[in-house]
């Protein structure tokens, strides 16, 4: 089973850069996007073979998530947001027979950490929500989580220490999440791989120079770790300042957990 996650930084703009082709080429069962920046119906988004599940922000042109689910699958339920959060279109949860898939666009702390209190509450609410779901069946969290957890996860950790996405507070919340029984799938397979990034500034030719950050993740319940076949980053796919990340799970091992 294959999952893909991508912050498209505006779905309408990304569609003009080949989004539908990228969606189809990945042959994914689930394709989650963040920062759609639109409401359903503001543009024609035709995705044959996929059901569309939208959560748009009240504020137009802001935030937003969409989860595309293969029509071959039958979700038990699809819900938007979670206790303590609503209005910004930041999460979609798809319940499947063997797991929950949460698509999250975690709030940016903003310059000078102006929104750090909101960010911390979001982190705490999300972790509590995941822990409750995990009591029922395994959880897969994907999306732009807006944090580089460790120094290996960004090119220039020194100058960025304390900045949004690499503050002690944000990194600490990721540590809390992983300590609560969850696994960073990419680092589970590749603990020492360097220069693996999923976001690059548009400034100073950063992407071509690979001066980036790894802030897009697949986080899974610990008991799913043995099901991970592959977890990776697709830096050659253009269309946004982020690139897609993906997760592949072993179907037989996953089925054995049901």
pLDDT digits (tens, 9 = 90+) for 217-242: 999 999 999 999 999 999 999 999 99
Q: What CA–CA distance (Å, rounded) separates 143 from 90? A: 10
How many other C-beta atoms can be found within 10 angstroms of the C-beta atom of residue 224?
25
- Contact present, 114 and 43 (Cβ < 8 Å): no
Segments of the chain with pLDDT less than 70 = none
Residues 6+ apart with CB under 8 A from 47: 20, 23, 68
Q: What CA–CA distance (Å, rounded) separates 201 from 242? A: 9
The reported pLDDT for the residue numbered 86 is 86
The reported pLDDT for the residue numbered 148 is 98
Which of 105, 122, 129, 197 is the catalytic position?
Answer: 105
Q: Is 202 a catalytic residue?
A: no
Strand 30-34 relative to strand 2-7: parallel, antiparallel, unpaired?
parallel
Exposure string of 34-49, with b = 16+ CB inside 10 Å and e = fewer, is bbbbbeeeeeebebee
Q: Which helix (H) or strand (E) holds 196?
A: none
- Which is nearest to 47 in space by CA: 64, 26, 68? 68
The reported pLDDT for the residue numbered 161 is 97
The reported pLDDT for the residue numbered 229 is 98
Q: What CA–CA distance (Å, rounded) separates 199 from 210? A: 9
Q: What CA–CA distance (Å, rounded) separates 103 from 142? A: 5
Which of 134, 144, 153, 184 is the catalytic position?
Answer: 144
- Contact present, 119 and 238 (Cβ < 8 Å): no
Q: Is 251 a catalytic residue?
A: no
pTM above 0.85, yes or no: yes
The reported pLDDT for the residue numbered 203 is 95
């Amino acid at each position: 089973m294959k999952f893909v996650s991508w912050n498209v930084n505006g779905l309408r703009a990304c569609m003009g850069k080949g989004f539908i082709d990228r969606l189809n080429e990945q042959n994914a069962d689930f394709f989650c996007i963040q920062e759609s920046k639109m409401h359903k119906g503001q543009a024609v988004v035709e995705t044959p073979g996929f059901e569309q599940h939208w959560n748009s922000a009240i504020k137009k042109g802001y935030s937003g998530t969409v989860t595309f689910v293969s029509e071959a699958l039958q979700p038990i339920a699809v819900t938007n947001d979670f206790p303590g959060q609503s209005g910004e279109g930041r999460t979609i949860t798809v319940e499947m027979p063997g797991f929950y898939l949460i698509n999250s666009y975690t709030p940016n702390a903003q310059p000078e950490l102006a929104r750090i209190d909101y960010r911390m509450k979001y982190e705490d609410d999300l972790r509590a929500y995941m822990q409750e779901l995990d009591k029922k069946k395994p959880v897969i969290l994907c999306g732009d989580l807006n944090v580089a957890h460790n120094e290996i996860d960004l090119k220039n950790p020194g100058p960025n220490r304390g900045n949004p996405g690499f503050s002690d507070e944000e990194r600490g919340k990721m540590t809390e999440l992983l300590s609560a029984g969850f696994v960073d799938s990419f680092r589970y397979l590749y603990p020492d791989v360097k220069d693996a990034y999923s976001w690059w500034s548009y400034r100073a030719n950063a992407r071509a120079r690979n001066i980036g950050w790894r802030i897009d993740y697949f986080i899974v319940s610990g008991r799913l770790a043995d099901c991970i076949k592959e977890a990776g980053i697709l830096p050659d796919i253009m269309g946004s300042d982020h690139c897609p990340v993906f997760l592949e799970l072993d179907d037989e091992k996953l089925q054995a957990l049901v």
